[in-house]
Amino acid sequence: MAGPTRAGSHPDYSSSGTAGFIPEIWSGKLVEKLYASTCFGEIANTDYEGEIKNQGDTVQIRTVPNITIRDYQIGGGLTYEKPTSGKVELQIDKAKYFAFEVNDIDRYQADIKLMDEFSDDGGEQMKIAIDTDILARHYADVHADNAGATAGAKSDAINLGVAGTPVAVSKTNVLDLIVDCGTVLDEQNVPETNRWIILPAWMGGMLKKSDLKDASIMGDSVSVFRNGKLGQLDRFTVYLSNNLSVVNDVAAGNKKCTNVMFGHKKALTFASQMTQMETLKNPSDFGNLVRGLNVYGSKVIDPKAIGHLYATRG
């Protein structure tokens, strides 16, 4: 028996439709989706105080106090200071949402849990959207000595590329460039632990084809050929991401250039909260409405501890 007709704007979830969820015979599983990996939660300070309820809220980020070093004189006594942990206010000024509907007939006839699957997908897409937004903004917030053709707080001699003249990356120089990024942080006295660098996939490929002949260079016993986190290299934890900002540099001959970011975890702060996740009855149809709201904020709080490499494929 034929079912009810379907409005032209409503997707067809039947086995003959493009969505193909209502089965004649169905495996009960969705084809696994491939999601871009997200890394901002790994590279930023997320230690905040306060509860996030809405867009416009403010949270307090705890920072490490500076301890004063004094000269010692025999018999001169000691001066004891009372370290105060400063706090940085982080405005929760960004918000993203997803919303979808599931018709009761589709839900009952499908042999997979449509709302669960769609909600899971919405959560993954939310993380990717936030990661892309953040990585597209904060490379511009680095200290002037940590970017450009004359980077280096002490040397002014490290070329990290500028608009119009990006650094051309190849398998022969990719290792040297990563070491240069580390040197930029060294010249700012950035701690050697908790350093990170995010590479685009094409640059990660260059790294794997470089003189990186064994895993010991990566700082561990695991091969460099792995998914996600590549490992350690010159004190950096190396991440791959397809969410980095890419521009078409007309002045450089229409080359695609990537804004590669590197730094220390103390440079960035990030707070995020899924503040609303609701399932409502659809007032205009039989079924449910599902919607989720995620609010977040991010800020560069130590520009000296983050750097920017402007790179293109050589």
Domain positions in the chain:
33-314
CB 278 within 8 A of CB 72: no
- Dist CA 217 CA 234 (whole Å): 8
314 residues of the chain, pLDDT tens digit each = 444 444 555 554 444 443 443 333 334 444 555 566 778 878 888 776 566 777 778 877 777 777 888 898 999 888 988 887 677 788 888 888 888 887 765 555 444 566 677 777 877 888 888 889 999 999 999 999 999 999 999 999 999 999 999 999 999 999 999 999 999 999 999 999 999 999 999 999 888 888 765 544 555 554 443 334 667 888 899 998 999 999 999 999 999 999 999 999 989 988 887 777 788 888 888 777 888 888 888 889 899 999 999 999 98
- Dist CA 274 CA 298 (whole Å): 15
CB 239 within 8 A of CB 218: no
33-314 has CATH 3.90.1690 classification = yes
Each residue of 267-310: pLDDT tens digit? 998 888 777 778 888 888 877 788 888 888 888 989 999 999 99
Could you count the other beta carbons within 10 Å of the beta carbon of residue 39?
A: 22
pTM for this prediction: 0.75
Whose tokens are 């990024």? That residue is 181
Residue 31's pLDDT is: 54
- Report residue 76: phi and psi, to 5°: -85, -5
DSSP 3-state assignment of 132? helix
The token pair at 295 is: 């609010």
The token pair at 244 is: 């980095």
Each residue of 219-275: pLDDT tens digit? 555 444 333 466 788 889 999 899 999 999 999 999 999 999 999 998 998 888 777
- Dist CA 309 CA 180 (whole Å): 10
Pairing of strands 87-91, 58-62: antiparallel
The token pair at 253 is: 């001959």
Pairing of strands 287-300, 195-199: unpaired
- Dist CA 257 CA 240 (whole Å): 16
Considering only CA atoms, give the Rg of the chain. Answer: 25
Q: Which amino acid is at 264?
A: H
